[in-house]
Amino acid sequence: MRTLKHSRQRESIKNCLMQRTDHPTADMLYLSIREEFPNISLGTVYRNLKLLSELGEITRFSCGDGSEHFDYRTEPHYHFICKTCGAVYDMPAEIVRDTSELLTAQPPGRVDSHTVFFYGECKTCQQKKS
């Protein structure tokens, strides 16, 4: 296991992600962080987001728009992603039946917090169509 050293850039990326609730992409985050670190590079943002998600400190997910989105929430919750407008809503964890069932079910495994995604169409978009 590699030893991490402190880095102001990484710290800033974590803080920035913690403060936002909009599940930003790497590029959106990059634009924000540039206000504090005008010289930070996009590569550094990507490198740290990858590192943090491998450490399990953040979650990454695709919402079908071609780029990855990131999330820092620490309480267990799931996501609802509207395929029409791209909006991302947080969902209560209780919507899924006891996940320990998964351990004994035939497709086996442990489900990580933050990593359950529902894709569909949100009410707002449904109403626009009718």
Q: Are the C-beta atoms of 51 and 7 separated by less than 8 Å?
A: no
Residue 7: Cβ within 10 Å count: 11
Task: Return the residue of 26, 52, 63, 82 that touches DNA, per CB under 7 A.
Answer: 26
27 binds DNA (CB under 7 A): yes
Q: Are the C-beta atoms of 26 and 68 separated by less than 8 Å?
A: yes
Q: Are the C-beta atoms of 93 and 78 separated by less than 8 Å?
A: yes
Residue 80 contact among its own copies, DNA, none, beta carbon within 5 to 8 Å by kind: its own copies
93 binds its own copies (CB under 8 A): no
Q: Which stretch binds its own copies (CB under 8 A): 2-10, 31-39, 43-51, 99-107?
A: 99-107
Q: Are the C-beta atoms of 115 and 96 separated by less than 8 Å?
A: no
119 binds its own copies (CB under 8 A): yes
CA distance 90 to 75: 11
Nearer to its own copies, 31 or 89 (CB): 89
Q: Which residues bind its own copies (CB under 8 A)?
A: 60-62, 64, 80, 82-83, 89-92, 94-97, 101-103, 105, 107-112, 115-124, 126
